[in-house]
Amino acid sequence: MGRLDGDRRGWLRGAPPPRWVRALPLLLIAGVCVATLTSPEPLDIGFMLGAIPPLAVLSYGPAATALLGAAVVVMLNLPAFQLDQPGQTDVLTVSFVAVLSVFVAYVRRRRDDQLDTERTIAEAAQNAVVPPVPERVGPVRCAGLYRAAQRGTLVGGDFFDVRASDHGVRAVLGDVQGHGLAAVATVASLLGAFREAVLDQPDLARVAARLDRRLTVDSARVTHAELFATAVLLEFTPDAEAVSVVVCGHPPPVLLREGTATELDVVPWTPLGLGLPEGAPLTAHVLPLRPGDRLFLASDGVSEARDAAGVFYPLLDRLPALAAGADPATTGERVWTDVLRHCPAVRDDVTMLVLEPADRADHWADRRADH
């Protein structure tokens, strides 16, 4: 499952610096050496060497920074470089800057180590809350992609999961109120309820009712919490020849069939946490599946992405071409790349889930192997 598009932090936001930043101190030393050794007259450019220790702090640890600082002091005192005989005050100033840079490099290295530890913990928490989707669950091939909107975070307000049960493969994709770290607790609560309901509840409508009750109970514990979430739930039959769909305030799944993309005509119900209607029972929409069919689920972060002119991302128009000849994982990555072209500054959590019934011959071969 895709989590991050490379390292989205950027080197000014905690990611390792690029190579050109690491090369700056060495290039500056080389430039001063070449200029002074080739010039017939002394050059008053010794002040440039004073910038080398601070530049080293950006990329190097205290030991390397100290080594570069010592090299600068030596260069200032070697007659061969003809740096216009810097005075004692200049040498002391550069030496003080070098020592201070070593201290700053030490502090930065300790801070980076702490941030790396915290990021590792965050990734472990992310995998615990929203674990990667397996490539295959029973007779269904799966791929999930997640991008959190809040910069610097790995989890947010979207969630998905795919689980096997005695009734078939069940999947959920949803979006809780808000996004970022404030929504993580609600996501964890919903996914926990889903994983229990998958094992206990005999049909998809009751799974949705369990999630609705979980949010209703959680909301009642906090004054004016008003927790709610949109979600779409699916249940593939054990042979993956049909799928049942329940939509609770969420965009319905898109069916990819024979080069076309069609949004399923599913009767929507209220979002989870607001109380499912009691007068009209919640029923699932049943869709027979054909060989080659694929279901694409996405949060509204995809469909509501706008370009500079305010035009929404045309998912249905572009999805057939993006999915052509691609496996589920590649399909999600292609859509994400295309969304970024359409709207480089995506401001909402983006979640995608691509589900494809495996070739039935492969499925029955796997079942015979299991027996």
The more confident residue out of 155 and 263 is 263
> Alpha-carbon distance 357 to 5, whole Å?
27
pLDDT at residue 7, as a whole number: 43
Q: Which is more confident, 346 or 306?
A: 306
Average pLDDT (113-133) is 77
Q: What is the arithmetic mean of pLDDT over 179-183?
A: 61
- Confidence grade of residue 157 (pLDDT, cut at 50, 70, 90): confident
DSSP characters for 102-133? Answer: HHHHHHHHHHHHHHHHHHHHHHHHHHHHSPPP
Q: Which of 218, 245, 254, 212 is nearest to 230 (CA)?
A: 212
DSSP 226: -
Report pLDDT for 80: 75
Cα–Cα distances (Å) from 328 to 130, 145, 240, 296, 336, in that order, read 18, 10, 16, 9, 13
pLDDT at 252 over 90: yes
Lowest average pLDDT, out of 20-34, 121-135, 157-171, 235-249, goes to 121-135
As separate numbers, helices (DSSP H) first and strands (DSSP E) second, the chain gives 10, 11
Q: Within 10 Å of residue 336's Cβ, how many Cβ atoms?
A: 20
The whole-number average pLDDT for the span 48-64 is 89
* Single-letter code of the amino acid located at 263: E
Model pLDDT, residue 362: 54
Evaluate if residue 1 carries a pLDDT over 50.
Answer: no
DSSP code string of 273-314: TS---SSS---PEEEE--TT-EEEEE-HHHHT-B-TT-PBP-
Identify the pLDDT of residue 235: 96
Residues 6+ apart with CB under 8 A from 335: 145, 296, 298, 302, 315, 318, 319, 322, 352
What crossing angle do the helices spanning 184-200 and 88-129 adopt, rounded to 10°?
A: 30
Confidence of residue 44 (pLDDT cuts 50, 70, 90): confident
In the structure, what pLDDT confidence band is assigned to residue 228 with cuts at 50, 70 and 90?
A: confident
Give the residue, 249 or 364, on which the prediction is more confident: 249
Choice among 37-46, 90-99, 167-176 with the minimum mean pLDDT? 37-46
Residue 315: predicted pLDDT: 94
pLDDT at 125 over 80: no
List the structure tokens of 12.
């000014």
Q: Judge whether residue 302 has pLDDT over 60.
A: yes
Distance of CA 80 to the CA centre of its chain: 54
**Is the pLDDT confidence value at 291 over 60?**
yes
* 89 pLDDT more than 70: no
279-306: average pLDDT: 87
**Predicted confidence band at 293 (pLDDT cuts at 50, 70, 90)?**
very high
**Per-residue tokens: 152:** 């610097």
